[in-house]
Structure 1
């Protein structure tokens, strides 16, 4: 279970993120993200949508547990400053954890806000 500060708990927030967020799809799910207005100051929050199209209750719960663990790995790696909703596709029921974690990592890398590049140092000339 993700800690409370890392969960999107309200259905209206889930809908807002899915409708107005940046979207990237992969074979197993679609990732929607909204970057926090304050930048990377706030904690990352994750929400999951796993419909009955994914499978029966057992399959849906397995997918949710795997996605929660993959999300926790992202948070542990330092991902902050965005709200993320992961909508599982039917293929996710057959995918092993490693494939789900890899897809989430790739999706998150594509959606992360671009970091400003560090200024290049100016070479000092001896006068």
Structure 2
């Protein structure tokens, strides 16, 4: 279970993460991640629309995703400084837990790699003066 400090609730937080974060898509879900203040705990938000299914199915998908997010927090490496939004796709309704877990882990790993990979620009060197 996710504690309240690890839950994303504000609409602005969702929008900021989706717009400014990195994206990693899989068959059952799309995961957005953004680096925030490293002193803040990692926060997770979930988007499960009516396209996924009725209320029973949507709630089942959310419970599974929350469990996967809580498992990610147990790995102390990701416990601080991330904002993560997971959007469930309609295929998630018929996916079993193992398939959802596989997609979540791959998407999370890819997003973290994208966040930590910073392109190194070559240093600009001023042309030498001729004298």
TM range (shorter): 0.7 to 0.9
Correspondence 1:22 to 2:22:
yes
Is residue 114 of structure 1 aligned with residue 116 of structure 2?
yes
Q: Offset of 1:101 from its aligned partner? A: 1.4
Structure number with bigger Rg: 2
Q: Which runs of 5+ in 2 are unaligned?
A: 118-131
Alignment-derived partner of residue 83 in structure 2: 83
Which residue does the alignment assign to 2:71? Answer: 73
TM-score, reference length from structure 2: 0.80
Give the paired residue count.
Answer: 114
Structure 2 Cα separation of the partners of residues 3 and 83 of structure 1:
15
Cα 1:45/1:55, change in 2 over 3 Å: same
CA distance in structure 2 between the aligned counterparts of 1:99 and 1:5, rounded to whole angstroms: 28
TM-score, normalization by structure 1: 0.83
Specify every segment of 5 or more residues in structure 1 that has no aligned partner in the other structure, as ranges. 116-127
RMSD value, Cα:
1.7
Q: Secondary structure at the match of 1:84?
A: strand
What displacement does 1:26 show? Answer: 0.3
CA apart distance, 1:37:
3.8
After the TM superposition, which residues 1-127 of structure 1 pair with which residues of structure 2 at under 5 Å, given as runs? 1-38=1-38, 41-78=39-76, 79-80=78-79, 81-112=81-112, 113-114=115-116
**Higher helix fraction (1 or 2):** 2
| Deviating more after overlay: 61-70 vs 15-24 | 15-24
